[in-house]
Amino acid sequence: MTEKSPRLVVGVSGASGVMYGVRVLDACREMGVESHLIVSRAALLTLAQETDLTASDLAARADVVYKVGDIGAAVASGSFKTLGMIVAPCSVRTMSEIATGVTSSLLSRAADVSLKERRPLVLMVRETPLHLGHLRTMVRLAEMGATIAPPAPAFYAHPQSLAEVVDQSVGRALDILGLSWTAVRRWGEDLPTIGGDN
């Protein structure tokens, strides 16, 4: 990657759905976006449970990898320019830590940096059902400037595989950051609209 490549901070936390983070990294590589990866310890457990990938396989998909405890890393400073950050998937624990501003790891610190610098922060929260505390935390984060983007299947895109469901959700989350990934099937472009003029 060149110095002029746009940079995106990618957080992967311990919620189910680690493939969302994997595909964010793949999308960044395809789009020429420099990915700066932070993986929580719980995410590595999920990676082993949900995929055949190793921690090294995941790291190889990123341009820069940081240790989750490295609070002196470049992405811990607002002076390090990025497009923003996506946490995919985002656990309720990570979401709650970001909402409080008490940043105990590089992952939550980097998210806090995005918020304080008024850069986009996209949280692909993976939890259901949601109790009132979860919902209030999401409202607080939205008021702080974060975008809550739970991955949801887009049935209108007629996905033929789980991989297509994952890619559609990842692509729509990347849209929020101003990144257009070719894997997304778009209504009115790749997909016909229904009904026409009313």
One-letter-per-residue 3-state SS of the chain = CCCCCCEEEEEECCCCCHHHHHHHHHHHHHHCCEEEEEECHHHHHHHHHHCCCCHHHHHHCCCEEECCCCCCCHHHCCCCCCCCEEEEEECHHHHHHHHHCCCCCHHHHHHHHHHHCCCCEEEEECCCCCCHHHHHHHHHHHHHCCEECCCCCCHHHCCCCHHHHHHHHHHHHHHHCCCCCCCCCCECCCECCCCCCC
- Mean pLDDT taken over the chain: 95
What mean pLDDT is predicted for residues 166-176?
98
What mean pLDDT is predicted for residues 6-27?
98
Residue 1 has pLDDT above 50, yes or no: no
Enumerate the domain spans of the chain. Answer: 7-176
pLDDT tens digits for 64-94?
999 999 999 999 999 999 999 999 999 999 9
pLDDT tens digits for 149-164?
999 999 999 999 999 9
What topology does CATH give the domain 7-176? Rossmann fold (3.40.50)
Q: What is the pLDDT of residue 3?
A: 58
Q: What is the pLDDT of residue 107?
A: 98
Q: What is the pLDDT of residue 195?
A: 64
Residue 139 has pLDDT above 60, yes or no: yes
Q: What is the pLDDT of residue 198?
A: 42
pLDDT tens digits for 108-117?
999 999 999 9
